[in-house]
Each structure stands twice: as structure tokens, then as C-alpha cells.
């Protein structure tokens, strides 16, 4: 009887199959081991930050608002605009938005405020919960930064995964992240970019993965070019350090420099479709009066290196948890590390620290610009270098006496600096408690070389002390920040906001007319947040052209003209095709909406018009743009003292009185009307009907010394004249208007001549099928005889050159990636 045939897998010889399985299992085990450190760093960072939220009872763990400063004014509204864009409910597209500022570029705003890849979490939740997604971006980004730092540390020196994970977490929970960037989601991407670029540096030194290095550079710059620029300069420092400490030949150093330079250039070129328009938009933006850099006092500067310190304002946040500080301090004393390595790393770290205090180097860190706000925005670079020193020292097994000496110096520094303003209630517990436990853990870890059972105890202590100290530091920073007048956290979702949004939606009819959301409730970008089309807009890229168009007409503004507010004024409504307005109701958290006739978005001016009213008055400027006389601008008489000035004028009874005094800060009272005055922030303000006597009395209580309401603060509106002007604009204006994402087209009545005026400002980037001729700051085109239609398209300046450069970089990258494969096939 013949034996049964043996079945053999034809794909793999039988003797080799077990070894192949073992190799596959080995790869899986190694891959799992590589992930342990980053996962630990991520979880530790996220847990500490969220625990601080919960301890403070802040949203989403309580009812206390979390939106601080620009998070409410910019970031949440911009993320809601991103939600609208992705879900097909935006008035505009990625290049342009019709919501806010009467139409503005959007590409640069996207790159600056929404570039963090985790910002896309906002589109995965219902629109009502976008603010929750924005808040979640912070711990997720910080955790990712900690995880990537853990990987980078492993490339600098081998060592246990859990030790790298703990130190990676100290980077993700550094003072800059907890105090300065915790409410600024796009800045936090720089925290990820630094170790990511450090990995790219290592690849360039090793002469491998050049395409990967270029892609890491691109990813850093796509996320946020501002902090990525700082991280890139830090990567140059890291490259110089590594070249100085590695035993390589001069030729190898030059090759590494070449690989790094070309990878950086290629990666940045890939981002040029976003970067170049942003750069050009910044150049065209309304200028700001940023003050020159004024370094803080030296004791304040060094106090920023102590854990759990915080004070609102332009202060440097330099600290990491006590564990990292003690280890970093022992670096120079650790003789198991080569002397050259210690000297180069130590000197470079000291020079980076010193560069934060000198104006020339500060300007370099900020791209040769004066920062508008906290000038110490690059301090995460120093924290990252401190963590590297800590890891190199820990991997070199520091001696307990060196650790004790460093811990003692930390306590001594805290004692000397205890009277600085930044020294908070949690600083002593962090220094004494956190430092003491950290020292104990590190001593136990060293003793664990001979007594292995002490290693798990040390691990638990190290993880626990970083978690506890960072939680306290984050909660303390949030508590102290919340006490500042300009940093009061506000809600970004509640019953009132939901009612406001519903009121806007109830009267919207874009593009037949614009809807003004009314006075800002929580955000300067209410038009974006509430899906309206009014003038409210706040962006670092708001063009100078928009400022020059809106400011003379009486719109309120702030931030040197980079923030505009609405104005409850029927003439301005007619000029900008506003046909609906929302106002606060009489009951709490209620809103009322009103519709009224409005001209189309495209109107026609057939001839010149000159207002008969005083040319320097805001009311004459409004009439000039409207093309009709609708105001009576009376002479006013003044009385009272400088702090309680009275103004009296006479107007036709039944007309509507308006007030405009951008130089005054205080309050005004006219009859039963009482309203605040906040200098330039307060636009043209309604006072109500002129009484039967025809006398308008206004009392202004002001705290602005030496300022006056101006020659013509009062204007009285003739409603019938305005109605006639609106009817005329409707009759002669476009019969049909089509609005695209970044375009507008209009059909005009037959035999139309003159100038077609589009109700948007003439910002750079518009091109039209007819000759463009701005009309008092608005987009307008000349209408040659026989013109019955025209169209305009907005293209951000620099978009096409950026796309061309990115295409060239992509070809280079593809060729570099394909060349080794082609060689192997040969």
C-alpha cells in the first residue's frame, strides 16, 4: 500500500515556514514594543490635562466656560466655518467667505487658524458641539507631541520605553503648552513639529529616508507655519549639535547638511499654495501698532523655569515638570556622557535660552516681525531641549549625589525667586513635593540596577509625580488666568447662543440679501459662528482695503482695525444689501429678528453725487456711497464740563437721530436712551426718534481726557428719503445675482450705463470681466455701453505660483522616492 502524499504549501518550502512565522511574530512584537513608549506619553499627557479641566469644573467637565480670549473670538467661529464648508452649508469656499467682513479671503485664515490636522475633529461632531471638538484638539495635540518626542528621544539614545514615555510627557506638558498655548489649538502644532523635525534631522544624518524627511517638514509647515518656523530654526540648532557631537568626516557632514537643506526646502515648497497666499495676505493686512520687544526682568525670566508658575501677559513659560528639570540639571555633571557631548548640548541650550532676552535674536525667532502679544512664543523650543538633556542624562545613569545637588539647586532657586509675581500657589508644592518624589524615584531607579524589584516602584513614582504635578500646574494656570479681566473664560454654546443662531436662520435669504446677526454675543466673528453675512470679522489678515472702506462709514473696530463690528444703521444696511437684522429680545436669552427691503448685492451708479452735508462728517460719507441725501446734519452746541459734556441740536421732528463719537470712552444718555461708548469700538449708534420739539439733547459721561465728540456727532435720518433711495437702487440694480464660492455674477437691465457696485470691499485678488474701478473702497466695474452682465472671481494672490512650486517639489519628491526602487529592479 502506497503511502499518502504529503501536502506542501507551494508558496513556502516546508522547512522555512516556521522560521517565517517566527520572523513575522518577532516583527509584531518589536512593533508593539516601539509603540509602548509613545502610547504611555500620549495617555499620561491627555490624562493630566483633562484631570486639570475636571478639577476646575471647566467645560466639558463642568459649567465654567473654557473659551479664553481669542478661542471664543476666533478659533471656535473659524472651526464652525470649517464645519459649514465641509457640510456644504458655507456661503463661500476654501478661497473666500461671504460671511464676515462683507466678504473676505479664507485660504490664509484656514492655514493660520485651522491648519492643525486635529482641527478636522470639528467636522465629525454636530455643529452645536464644535466647541467641544475645539477644546479636545488641545489635549490630543499635546499628547501627540509627547508621543513624537518619545520617538525622537529613542533615536538620540536607546533606553527603556517607559522612561522615554514619561519624559516625552514632560515635554507635552511643558509650561508653554499649559499656560500659553492651551487655548490656541493652531500654535500647539509647533509642539508636535519640533520633535518631528528632530526625527527628520536624524534621517538626514543617517543618509536615509530623504523623502520622509521632506514630508515631515511639509507636515510641520502645513499645520501652522508660525510655530513651525520656530521649530525649523530649532531643528537647525539640533542639526548643528548633532554634527558637532558625532564622529564623522567633513564630507559626511557636508552631505548631511545638503540632505537637510534640500529636505527642508522641498518640504516648505510643498506648502507654498498655502504659505505664499498667507504671506501676501499678511503684507496686505491692516497694519498694527505692535510695540518693540521689551524683555522681562531677569528674576521674572528665571522664575518662568520653575514648575507651576504662571502670570497672564508677556511672560516666558520655560518649565517642565520637576523630574525633567532635575535630570536636565544633572546632565553636565554626568561623567558617563562624553565631555564633548555635554559641552556642546549645554552651550547650545544656554545660548537658545539667552536668545529669548535679546531683541535681534527675538526678531529672528519671530520671522523678523514684532510679535503682537506675548513675545515669548518660542519658549517651547527650550523646553524641548531641556527634555533632551534630561533623557541623555537618564540614559547615562546619573549618580544620586548629582541628582540631589540639582534638586537642592531647584529648591534654592525657588526660595530666591519666591517673591516674583509669577510664583503661584502651586509652585512650592511642585518644587518640594514634585521634586522630592522625583528625586526618590530616580534614586530607586539607580538602586534597581542591583535590586530589580525597585524598578517598578520607581516607574510608578515617576509616572505618578509627572501626572500629579502637571495636573496641578495646568489647573493653577487656568485659575490664575481666569482672574484676569481680559481672560475671563466665556461659554461658546448655551441656550442664548442657540436661540441667536435660530433667529438668524429664521430670516436668512442669501444671496437675495444679507443678514446681520447684531451685536456680538460671545465672539468677534459672530457672522461666521452664527452663519450670517454682516461686517463682523476678526482676523490677522483683514485687509487694509477693508479697513479703509468700512472705517469712514462709521463701523466700529478694534485691534488697530483688524476687528470690525456691526452698526445698527439703516443707511449702512442699504449700502451693503442687509435685508434682515437680529437684536436681543426683552426676555433673557431671547432674540428678535426683523426683515426690511434692501437693494440687491449689485447696484448701479449712473453719475457723480456730492453730499450737501459737511464732508468731514460720517453721515456725508455714507450719503456719498449711497448716492442720495438722506440725513440732516445739524450744528451742535456744547455745555457742561469735560467729563459730563452736553450736546444740543435741532432736527426735523419725527426723523431718527444717530450719534458717532469714535474718540470718546464712557456712556451717552439721550432721553430714555442710555448706551455705552467704547471709542472706536462703538460705531454709528441710534438714539431714537426726534421729539416733537425738534430738540435733541445728549449727555456724554467720558473718561477720555482732552477728547471731544467731533464737529458733527449727530445726524438725523429722513426715513422717506432713504426708502426712495432704496427703491431707486432696486429698480436700477441687478435683476439677478449669482454667487459662487469665490465668484459673483450679475445680470443688469437693458441699456444700463455707469458703474456697477458690488456690496463687498475691493480687497486684493478680485478680477472681473469688465474693467475694475473701486468705488469708495467697494468693488466696482465700469459698464461699457451694451453691457447686460458681468462676473467677478476672487483668486488669492500667490495661489498659482504656490501651486506651481508645490508641483515641482512633488515631482522632485516622487523622483527621489522612485529612484532607489528602479535601481533595485536593475
Residues 391-405 pLDDT 10s: 999 999 999 999 999
State whether 49 and 141 are in the same domain: yes
> What is the distance between the alpha carbons of residues 439 and 404, in angstroms, rounded to a whole number?
7
Residue reference for cell 542624562:
393
State whether 712 and 737 are in the same domain: no
More confident residue, 27 or 766: 766
Q: What is the pLDDT of residue 317?
A: 92
State whether 742 and 644 are in the same domain: no
Q: How many CA atoms lie within 13 A of 47 on its CB side?
A: 16
2 confidence band (pLDDT: 50, 70, 90): very low
- Give yes or no for residue 186 having a pLDDT over 70: yes
CA dihedral sign, ordered 608, 611, 612, 617: negative
C-alpha cell at 732: 436700477
Tell me: the pLDDT tens digits for 443-453?
A: 999 998 889 99
In a domain, 325, yes or no: yes
Average confidence (pLDDT) over 372-379: 87
Lowest mean pLDDT among 477-486, 511-520, 639-648, 658-667: 477-486
Q: What is the pLDDT of residue 8?
A: 37
> What is the distance between the alpha carbons of residues 701 and 666, in angstroms, rounded to a whole number?
6
- Give yes or no for residue 22 having a pLDDT over 80: no
Tell me: the pLDDT tens digits for 57-82?
A: 888 888 777 788 788 889 999 999 99
175 confidence band (pLDDT: 50, 70, 90): very high
Are the CB atoms for 565 and 556 separated by under 8 Å? Answer: yes
- Give yes or no for residue 432 having a pLDDT over 60: yes
For the chain, give the percent of residues with pLDDT over 70.
Answer: 95
- Give yes or no for residue 11 having a pLDDT over 70: no
Using CA atoms, how far residue 379 sits from 49, 152, 174, 177, 291, in Å, is 19, 19, 10, 10, 20
3 confidence band (pLDDT: 50, 70, 90): very low
In a domain, 4, yes or no: no
State whether 779 and 656 are in the same domain: no
> What is the distance between the alpha carbons of residues 377 and 737, in angstroms, rounded to a whole number?
46
Q: What is the pLDDT of residue 128?
A: 92
DSSP code of 123? G
| Cβ contacts of 294 within 8 Å, gap of 6 or more | none
At 62, phi and psi to the nearest 5? -175, -170
State whether 482 and 511 are in the same domain: no
| Cβ contacts of 147 within 8 Å, gap of 6 or more | 38, 39, 41, 42, 168, 172
In a domain, 110, yes or no: no
> What is the distance between the alpha carbons of residues 254 and 235, in angstroms, rounded to a whole number?
17
Average confidence (pLDDT) over 613-636: 96
Domain edge (last residue) among 717, 750, 773: 717
In a domain, 818, yes or no: no
Average confidence (pLDDT) over 715-724: 97
State whether 51 and 146 are in the same domain: yes
Tell me: the pLDDT tens digits for 262-276?
A: 999 999 999 999 999
In a domain, 226, yes or no: yes
C-alpha cell at 536: 463682523
The range of the structural domain enclosing residue 452 comes to 35-64+115-284+298-487
In a domain, 334, yes or no: yes
Tell me: the pLDDT tens digits for 653-690?
A: 999 999 999 999 999 999 888 899 999 999 999 999 99
Mean of per-residue pLDDT scores for the chain: 92
State whether 562 and 663 are in the same domain: no
State whether 668 and 710 are in the same domain: yes
In sequence order, the β-bridge partners of residue 584 are: 591
The DSSP-derived string for 189-219 is HHHHHHHHHHHHHHHHHHT--HHHHHHHHHH
Q: Do the bridges between strand 578-584 and strand 514-516 make them parallel or antiparallel, or are there none, so unpaired?
A: parallel
Average confidence (pLDDT) over 526-538: 94
Comparing CA positions, the residue from 623, 588, 570 lying closest to residue 580 is 570
Find the angle CA(74)-CA(79)-CA(85) to the nearest 5 degrees: 125
State whether 478 and 559 are in the same domain: no
Domain edge (last residue) among 717, 741, 768: 717
Residue reference for cell 515641482:
808
Average confidence (pLDDT) over 134-160: 96
Residue reference for cell 442664548:
496
State whether 745 and 710 are in the same domain: no
Q: What is the pLDDT of residue 785?
A: 87
State whether 568 and 471 are in the same domain: no
> What is the distance between the alpha carbons of residues 216 and 196, in angstroms, rounded to a whole number?
6
In a domain, 812, yes or no: no
In a domain, 423, yes or no: yes
Q: What total number of domains does the chain contain? A: 4
In sequence order, the β-bridge partners of residue 605 are: 755
State whether 565 and 705 are in the same domain: no
For the chain, give the percent of residues with pLDDT over 90.
Answer: 79
- Give yes or no for residue 13 having a pLDDT over 50: no
Q: What is the pLDDT of residue 530?
A: 94
C-alpha cell at 135: 477644546
Are the CB atoms for 816 and 210 separated by under 8 Å? Answer: yes
In sequence order, the β-bridge partners of residue 755 are: 605, 782
Amino acid at each position: 500500500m502506497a503511502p499518502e502524499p504529503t501536502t506542501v504549501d507551494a508558496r513556502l518550502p516546508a522547512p522555512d515556514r516556521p522560521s517565517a512565522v517566527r520572523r513575522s511574530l518577532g516583527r509584531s512584537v518589536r512593533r508593539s514594543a516601539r509603540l509602548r513608549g509613545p502610547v504611555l506619553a500620549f495617555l499620561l499627557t491627555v490624562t493630566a490635562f483633562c484631570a486639570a479641566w475636571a478639577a476646575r469644573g471647566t467645560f466639558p467637565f463642568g459649567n465654567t466656560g473654557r473659551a479664553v480670549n481669542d478661542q471664543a473670538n476666533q478659533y471656535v467661529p473659524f472651526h464652525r466655518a470649517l464645519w459649514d464648508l465641509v457640510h456644504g452649508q458655507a456661503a463661500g469656499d476654501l478661497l473666500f467667505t461671504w460671511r464676515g467682513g462683507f466678504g473676505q479671503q479664507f485660504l490664509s485664515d484656514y492655514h493660520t487658524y485651522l491648519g492643525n490636522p486635529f482641527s478636522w475633529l470639528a467636522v465629525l461632531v454636530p455643529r452645536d458641539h464644535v466647541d467641544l471638538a475645539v477644546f479636545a484638539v488641545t489635549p490630543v495635540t499635546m499628547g501627540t507631541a509627547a508621543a513624537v518626542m518619545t520617538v525622537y528621544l529613542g533615536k538620540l539614545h536607546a533606553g527603556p520605553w517607559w522612561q522615554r514615555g514619561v519624559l516625552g510627557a514632560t515635554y507635552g506638558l511643558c509650561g508653554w503648552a499649559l499656560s500659553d498655548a492651551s487655548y490656541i489649538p493652531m500654535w500647539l502644532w509647533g509642539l508636535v513639529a519640533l520633535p518631528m523635525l528632530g526625527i527628520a534631522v536624524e534621517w538626514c544624518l543617517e543618509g536615509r529616508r530623504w523623502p520622509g524627511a521632506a514630508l515631515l517638514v511639509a507636515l510641520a509647515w502645513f499645520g501652522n507655519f508660525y510655530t513651525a518656523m520656530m521649530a525649523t530654526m530649532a531643528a537647525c540648532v539640533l542639526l548643528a549639535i548633532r554634527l558637532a557631537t558625532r564622529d564623522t568626516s567633513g564630507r559626511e557632514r557636508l552631505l548631511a547638511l545638503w540632505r537637510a537643506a534640500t529636505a527642508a526646502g522641498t518640504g516648505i515648497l510643498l506648502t507654498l499654495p498655502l504659505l505664499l497666499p498667507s504671506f501676501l495676505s499678511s503684507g496686505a493686512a491692516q497694519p498694527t501698532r505692535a510695540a518693540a520687544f521689551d524683555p522681562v526682568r531677569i528674576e521674572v525670566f528665571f522664575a518662568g523655569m520653575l514648575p507651576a508658575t504662571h502670570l497672564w501677559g508677556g511672560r516666558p513659560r520655560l518649565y517642565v515638570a520637576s523630574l525633567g528639570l532635575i535630570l536636565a540639571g544633572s546632565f553636565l555633571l554626568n561623567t558617563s556622557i562624553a565631555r564633548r557631548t555635554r559641552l556642546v548640548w549645554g552651550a547650545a541650550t544656554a545660548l537658545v535660552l539667552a536668545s529669548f532676552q535679546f531683541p535681534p535674536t527675538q526678531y529672528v525667532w519671530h520671522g523678523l516681525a514684532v510679535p503682537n502679544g506675548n513675545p515669548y512664543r518660542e519658549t517651547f523650543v527650550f523646553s524641548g531641549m531641556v527634555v533632551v538633556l534630561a533623557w541623555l542624562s537618564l540614559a547615562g545613569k546619573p549618580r544620586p549625589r548629582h541628582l540631589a545637588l540639582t534638586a537642592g539647586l531647584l529648591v534654592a532657586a525657588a526660595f530666591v525667586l519666591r517673591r516674583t509675581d509669577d510664583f503661584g500657589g502651586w509652585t512650592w508644592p511642585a518644587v518640594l513635593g514634585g521634586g522630592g518624589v522625583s528625586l526618590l524615584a530616580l534614586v530607586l531607579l539607580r538602586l534597581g540596577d542591583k535590586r530589580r524589584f525597585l524598578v517598578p516602584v520607581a516607574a510608578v513614582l515617576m509616572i505618578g509625580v509627572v501626572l500629579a504635578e502637571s495636573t496641578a500646574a495646568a489647573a493653577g494656570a487656568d485659575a490664575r488666568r481666569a482672574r484676569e479681566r481680559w481672560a475671563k473664560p466665556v461659554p461658546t454654546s448655551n441656550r442664548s447662543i442657540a436661540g441667536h443662531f435660530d433667529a438668524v436662520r429664521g430670516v436668512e435669504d442669501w444671496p437675495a440679501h444679507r443678514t446681520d446677526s447684531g451685536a456680538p454675543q460671545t465672539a468677534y466673528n459672530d457672522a461666521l459662528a452664527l452663519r450670517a453675512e454682516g461686517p463682523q470679522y476678526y482676523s490677522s489678515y483683514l485687509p487694509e482695503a477693508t479697513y479703509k472702506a468700512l472705517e469712514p462709514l462709521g463701523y466700529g473696530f478694534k485691534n488697530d482695525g483688524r476687528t470690525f463690528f456691526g452698526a445698527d444703521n439703516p443707511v449702512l444696511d442699504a449700502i451693503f444689501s442687509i435685508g434682515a437684522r437680529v437684536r436681543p429680545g426683552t426676555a433673557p436669552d431671547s432674540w428678535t429678528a426683523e426683515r426690511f427691503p434692501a437693494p440687491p448685492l449689485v447696484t448701479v451708479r449712473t453719475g457723480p453725487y456730492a453730499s450737501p452735508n459737511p464732508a468731514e462728517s460720517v453721515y456725508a460719507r455714507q450719503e456719498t456711497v449711497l448716492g442720495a441725501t438722506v440725513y440732516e446734519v445739524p450744528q451742535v452746541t456744547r455745555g457742561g464740563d469735560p467729563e459730563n459734556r452736553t450736546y444740543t441740536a435741532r432736527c426735523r421732528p419725527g426723523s431718527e437721530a444717530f450719534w458717532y463719537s469714535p474718540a470718546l470712552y464712557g456712556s451717552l444718555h439721550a432721553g430714555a436712551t442710555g448706551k455705552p461708548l467704547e471709542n472706536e469700538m462703538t460705531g454709528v449708534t441710534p438714539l431714537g426718534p426726534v421729539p416733537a420739539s425738534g430738540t435733541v439733547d445728549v449727555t456724554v459721561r467720558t473718561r477720555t481726557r482732552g477728547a471731544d465728540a467731533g464737529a458733527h456727532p449727530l445726524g438725523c435720518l429722513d426715513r422717506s428719503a432713504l426708502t426712495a433711495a432704496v427703491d431707486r437702487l432696486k429698480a436700477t440694480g441687478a435683476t439677478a445675482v449669482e454667487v459662487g464660492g469665490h465668484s459673483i455674477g450679475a445680470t443688469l437691465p437693458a441699456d444700463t450705463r455707469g458703474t456697477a457696485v458690488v456690496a463687498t470691499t475691493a480687497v486684493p485678488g478680485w478680477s472681473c470681466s469688465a474693467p475694475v474701478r473701486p468705488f469708495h473702497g467697494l468693488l466696482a466695474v465700469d459698464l461699457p455701453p451694451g453691457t447686460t452682465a458681468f462676473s467677478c472671481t476672487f483668486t488669492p494672490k500667490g495661489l498659482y505660483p504656490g501651486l506651481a512650486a508645490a508641483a515641482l517639489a512633488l515631482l522632485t519628491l516622487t523622483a527621489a522616492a522612485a529612484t532607489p526602487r528602479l535601481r533595485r529592479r536593475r
